[in-house]
Structures are given as C-alpha cells and as structure tokens.
Structure 1
Amino acid sequence: MADLDESTPGSKIGTRVLGETAGLLRCDSARLAAQAMAAMAAQARRELILLTPDLEPPLYDQPGFLEAVRRLAIERAAHRPVRVLLIDAEAAVRRSLRLVELARRLSSSLQIASVPEELAEQCDAYLLVDDDGYCLRRRSAMSSWLIDFADVAGVRALRAEFERIWEQADTPLELRRLHI
C-alpha cells in the first residue's frame, strides 16, 4: 500500500485508469481523496454507489464529482445508475447540497435513501464505481481513505454490504418533501 500525497511519485490520481490501474493507496487528505473520487467517478460507465454520513461537502459537493454523477445519471437513466445511502439525511438536506438538488431533478436515475438507524453505527463510508474501483473510509479510521481503481474483489464485498443495507433503507422524509 502506498501513501497518497502531493510528493508520491507514481500515485498521481490523473494517471489512474478505472479497472486497470491496481494498487491500494492510503490517503489522509480530504482534498486528495476528493480528487480521487472525482477522477474515479468521471470514468464510471455503468454505476456509482455511495454510502456517506451526510454527503460531506468537501468530498461530494465538488464540480468534477457532481458533473460525473450528472453525466452518468443521464446516460444510464434506465438502469438506476446512481444510488446513495445517507446515514444522516436531515443534515444533507438542511445544507441544500448540490447533489440533493441534482437528485430532485433526476429522481429516477439518482436515488437517495437513508441507512436504517439500527445499522448506522456499523457503516463505513465508501464510493464504488462500476465493478472496479472504490474509495473507502473505515469507521474506525475516519481521517484515512483507502483507494483502489482496480479491485474487483474489494468492490464485490462492499457492494454486498451496500445491497444488504439498501434493501432495508427508505427514502428519507426530508427528500420526500423535496419531490412534492
């Protein structure tokens, strides 16, 4: 595992290719993690899955990430391409984040649901892109992200967890009000 920082040769996010550039990176910088997420999301071809406490603005309320989500949601609209699980939906809605506004406009292809309260304490935060890449922040290490652009097995395990939670999730009241 390599540490991702400004001076690490060979770890430049812009050179990583989803599904091809394997190698786990550890990142302690929110700014670099946001760059990695935007770069990974921009390469999405089929699906983007996100589990987050509250759509953390430094990570997900960024132009590059939002444009990648918008593009995927429009291009793959018939296939439910973007799904988001929120641990604290009220906080995300209260801040009127741009991803929430995008979900209002593209509600059939960008779905947001709430993690059931009884599962919230157990959740890690992560972004999964296609069957290939992930950005993961374990709940036990809240300032450090693990990033891999090509780890099918890692994505498969996280996707199974996401699907288990998604089956129990519900659209938050705060978001239902937005659709009225």
Structure 2
Amino acid sequence: MAEQSAVSTELWLLDGLEDFRHYSLELLQQSNRQIAILSRDLDEPVYGTNHYVQALSEFARSSRHCQVQILIKDTKRAIESGHPLVRLAQRLSSKIEVRKMTQEPNNKEMGFMLGDTTKVLYKNDDNTYRGFYNSAASREVKQLREEFNYLWQYAEPEPEFQQLYL
C-alpha cells in the first residue's frame, strides 16, 4: 500500500503491483506533453493493462504536441506476448516511438516513467514492485531525462516491432 512520505506531500513510497498500476495512470493523467518510459521488458502487468493502454492512447491523441518515447532493455518478452503497448505504438507510430537499448543505464536494475518536467514513477529494481512516485520532482526528472536522452540517442528501432503495410 502506498505511503505518503513525511518529507513531501507530493512523494509517495510504493510497495506492490497495485501501487505501480495506480500511480502510472496518475502520472499519465497529470501530464500534458511528454512521457518517457525506461523498462527492462515493458512490464506488462503495469504498462500492458487495458486501462493503461487506453489512457496512453488518449494522452497521445490529446494534442499534436504530445510525445511518448519508450526504451526497452530486453524486447523478447514483449515480442512473444504481443504486448498491447507495442501494438498501440504501431498504430500511433507518429506519436509513440519504441526503441531497444544498446547502452546500459547507470543503474541497470531500475526502471522509470517520466511525465513532462516534474513527475516521476521510479522502480528501484525490475524484479520487485518497490519505488516511489513524485509529482514535484524537477531535479530528479532532469537527471533521469538526461540519462534517458543519452540512452535514446544510441538506442535502435526493434525490427520486430515494425508493422508491415502491404
């Protein structure tokens, strides 16, 4: 169960899958222009739910200025399962871009989702649902965004994610 931090009213300590599902939607609904996701395998229990995929679709279509970037460390599971977020990215390829990482992040175990310039959902370890959500984290978002941009620069499109039109 999420617990509000004593340090800040905008900081929530997360412990469990339901917390991550709830705050991933919260971050998405509070964002206006940019979403960036870094994940080992696109965490289907969080990013593959119908609610999340629908909310991301609405976000991407809400404005011509909206941008979604997704970096995945290991694409094998998403390819094999036909991940719903990948299918959405294929349909909205001008709004949602997915790439496979070729460089390792500084912390190889973490994953995160950034919203605009102030919101972060951070997963300490890809194997457990523990971390935090902060809706007023400008400094942290700036640092994570710089790392994300560096990794994005060297990432490659995943050929298996490309949709063929005949």
TM-score, scaled to structure 2: 0.86
The residue number in structure 1 matching 2:138 is 152
Quote how far apart the aligned CAs of 1:157 are.
0.7
Residue 24 of structure 1: how far off its partner (Å): 2.4
Give the count of matched residue pairs: 161
Percent identical pairs in the alignment equals 22
**2:120 aligned with 1:138, yes or no?**
no
Say if 2:80 is the partner of 1:113.
no
**Moved beyond 6 Å, runs of 4+:** none
**Structure with greater proportional helix content:** 1
Task: Please report how far the alpha carbon of residue 28 of structure 1 lies from its aligned counterpart in structure 2 after TM superposition.
Answer: 1.6
Give 3-state SS (helix, strand or coil) of 2:157's partner: coil
Q: Secondary structure at the match of 2:82?
A: coil
Q: Which of 106, 126, 131 is matched with 2:112 structurally? A: 126
Give the structure with the higher percent strand.
2
SS in 2 for 1:88: coil
Q: Please, which runs of 5 or more residues in structure 2 have no aligned partner?
A: none
Q: Which amino acid aligns with 2:10?
A: G
1:37 to 2:21 alignment: no
Tell me how far apart the structure 2 counterparts of residues 91 and 120 of structure 1 sit (CA, whole Å): 20
Give 1:139 shift.
Answer: 3.7
CA RMSD of aligned residues (A): 2.2
Partner of 1:18: none
Shift of 1:165: 0.2
Q: Does structure 1 residue 59 correspond to structure 2 residue 46?
A: yes
Change (3 A) 1:47 1:61: same
Alignment of 1:1-180 (within 5 A): 5=1, 8=3, 11=4, 22-77=9-64, 79=65, 81-116=67-102, 118-119=103-104, 122-123=107-108, 124-139=110-125, 142-176=128-162, 178-180=163-165
Question: Unaligned stretches of 5+ in structure 1?
Answer: 12-20
